[in-house]
Amino acid sequence: MIPLFPKHTGADTTIFSVMSALAQQYNAINLSQGFPDYPIEEDLGNLLYEASRKGFNQYAPMAGLPILQEAIATHTARSTGITFGSPNITITPGASYGIYTALATILQAGEEVIILEPAYDSYIPAIEMNGGIPVPVALNSPTFTINWALLEESITLKTKAIIVNTPHNPTGMVWQQSDWDRLTKLIAERNIYVLSDEVYEQVIFDGLPHCSVLSQPALQDRCFAIYSFGKAFHNTGWKVGYVVANEALTKAFRRVHQFLAFSVNTPAQYAIATYMQQFPLNNSGILLAQKRNLFNELMGDLPFTLPQVAKGSYFQVADYSAISPLPDTEFAAWLTKEVGVATIPISAFYKNGSDAKLIRFCFAKKEETLRAAIERMKAHLIG
Ligand SMILES: Cc1ncc(COP(=O)(O)O)c(C=O)c1O
């Protein structure tokens, strides 16, 4: 066997695959991985079929189908008030790829990238595979707000980028304009890029606005905004997303993209574009707010506490310290095997595995799934 040297310090198998496999093995209700268990809109599915029947079956243009770029431009103009066009919008095979490719575009070996922990688990491997050094900065606990002093201390001459994620996986927190103002000030005199993972931009609750990096004039020449259709259209398996950046950065991004994926699933691009034209108003925020409300109300009967109520995303973090002294990975395994409910331990979102006795529930599930999970937990955890 020729020796293989690992290119990143991430897990061999992501925690999402581990917990989903465990859920299957123990016939547990899967509230771990972030994907809906309800169907996509019938019209969207029909459009995928229509795309194939109409002959949209060959390679799409490298940057994306023009009709999809136009639909995104319309959406982005509505959400940010700024007009971006096809020179700014690149369709990608999902957001993880967009993040990886943006890092590949900007990073030189040995440069540092700041991430705010808990952080989505693809960031560190993507930084490392591109020769960079991840620099984790912990959010304040249990408010999950930004520790600005620590963030400032973590910036060095080698800092090349910071990855922001709003709405945030796993905590459900959202960036406000005041957060962007502070970050803008902090990096104003430094050559630091901002990669803003905004995959849950439409999944935001309680009338809160989504504050995008694209709405920050001072950051426009140094940012990549990264999106996924999977979250807004409940079709995570289609793996279609996009990246918005200024023309120069987009050109540089495409130099890499054309030799990585080159282009993205054509019928899916057609279907999403046509759907966006026909149904310009996305209702995923309303739908998921109802699910969050139901889930959190039912959780009120259980001995968990919620450090924060999710303001966006698919996820609710819960503290189980009143139930068990186990470390979070063991507690999550126990909950899956013995209680029949799969979740994600929050330590998986920290490079050093920091454990504060928190787990993450995904509430992007049918009402009956959420109720059944709560009933199982009630049966085991109460009385
Ligand atoms: C914060 C965050 N970023 C990126 C992704 C990946 O998105 P995609 O499936 O489009 O690659 C996810 C998926 O769960 C996510 O939660």
Q: Which CATH number is 208's domain given?
A: 3.40.640.10
Show pLDDT as tens, one digit a residue, over the chain (383 residues). 999 999 999 988 999 999 999 999 999 999 999 999 999 999 999 999 999 999 999 999 999 999 999 999 999 999 999 999 999 999 999 999 999 999 999 999 999 999 999 999 999 999 999 999 999 999 999 999 999 999 999 999 999 999 999 999 999 999 999 999 999 999 999 999 999 999 999 999 999 999 999 999 999 999 999 999 999 999 999 999 999 999 999 999 999 999 999 999 999 999 999 999 999 989 999 999 999 999 999 999 999 999 999 999 999 999 999 999 999 999 999 999 999 999 999 999 999 999 999 999 999 999 999 999 999 999 999 86
Whole-angstrom Cα distance, residue 197 to residue 72? 16
Cα separation, 28 vs 310, whole angstroms: 24
At 339 the three-state DSSP class reads helix
The CATH number of whichever domain residue 310 belongs to comes to 3.90.1150.10
Question: Do residue 66 and residue 214 come from a single domain?
Answer: yes
Domain count across the chain: 2
**193 and 230 share one domain:** yes
Instruction: Please indicate, yes or no, whether residues 130 and 250 belong to a single structural domain of this protein.
Output: yes
* Domain membership flag for residue 1: no
Q: Residues 271, 343: one domain?
A: no
Report which of 371, 39, 91 is spatially closest to residue 257, judged by C-alpha positions: 91
Residue 305 DSSP one-character state: B
Residue 75 belongs to some domain of the structure: yes
Q: Are residues 192 and 310 in the same domain?
A: no
Domain boundary, last residue among 219, 251, 278: 278
In ligand 1, the atom with minimum distance to the C-alpha of 197 is 3
Cα 45 to ligand 1 centroid, rounded to whole Å: 21
Instruction: Please check whether residues 364 and 259 belong to one and the same domain.
Output: no
Mutation to probe ligand 1, out of 103, 199, 344 (largest number of atoms < 8 A from CB)? 199
Task: Tell me the best of 169, 227, 265 to mutate to test the pocket of ligand 1, counting ligand atoms within 8 Å of each CB and taking the most.
Answer: 169
Residue 33's domain comprises 15-40+283-381
Determine if ligand 1 sits within 6 Å of the CB of residue 120: yes
> Ligand 1 mean position to 324 CA, how many Å?
30
For residue 153, tell me if it sits in a domain.
yes
Q: Is residue 317 within 6 Å of ligand 1 at its C-beta?
A: no
48 and 34 share one domain: no
